[in-house]
Amino acid sequence: MLEQILLFAPAPEGQEAAGNSSIMSIAFFVLFFLILYFFMIRPQSKKAKDQKSFLNEIKAGDRVVTIGGVHGKILKVDDDTYLLEVDANTKVRIEKSVISLDFTKAMLARKQA
């Protein structure tokens, strides 16, 4: 009988705080994942999207820099490769994925300055 009475008694103040604590924990994790998304995942996907569009817009005559630091001029664009002229009568066939957007922008900025 006493157990039945205790079941219907109001909860002590400490147990209500435990309910608020679980809400705060959930809010913390949601906030953590939002920060992670906006500061790490979103910029990374934007950079990958920019790199992909840059590679698709390259045409013959453009000057580029590879990830390895090789400077050259695009002579021919194929499906997944470029023919790159690095010096007079020196041509290299490279994969599209080795062209660096960041290095190319830096090289073009130095030439314009």
Same domain, 1 and 21: yes
What is the rounded distance in angstroms from the CA atom of residue 95 to the CA atom of residue 78?
Answer: 10
pLDDT of the residue at 2: 47
The predicted-structure confidence for 45-62, as pLDDT tens digits, reads as follows 999 999 999 999 999 999
The total domain count for the chain is 2
Cα–chain center distance at 67: 17
For residue 11, the SS3 value is: coil
**pTM here?**
0.66
Under the banding of pLDDT at 50, 70 and 90, the label for residue 72 is: very high
Q: Which domain holds residue 25?
A: 1-57
Q: Which residues pair with 82 in a beta bridge?
A: 77, 94
* Domain end among 57, 79, 97: 57
For residues 58 and 105, is the Cβ–Cβ distance under 8 A?
no
The predicted-structure confidence for 97-111, as pLDDT tens digits, reads as follows 999 999 999 988 888
The CATH number of the domain holding residue 102 is: 2.30.30
Cα–chain center distance at 86: 30
Same domain, 32 and 6: yes
Same domain, 31 and 70: no
What is the rounded distance in angstroms from the CA atom of residue 61 to the CA atom of residue 63?
Answer: 7
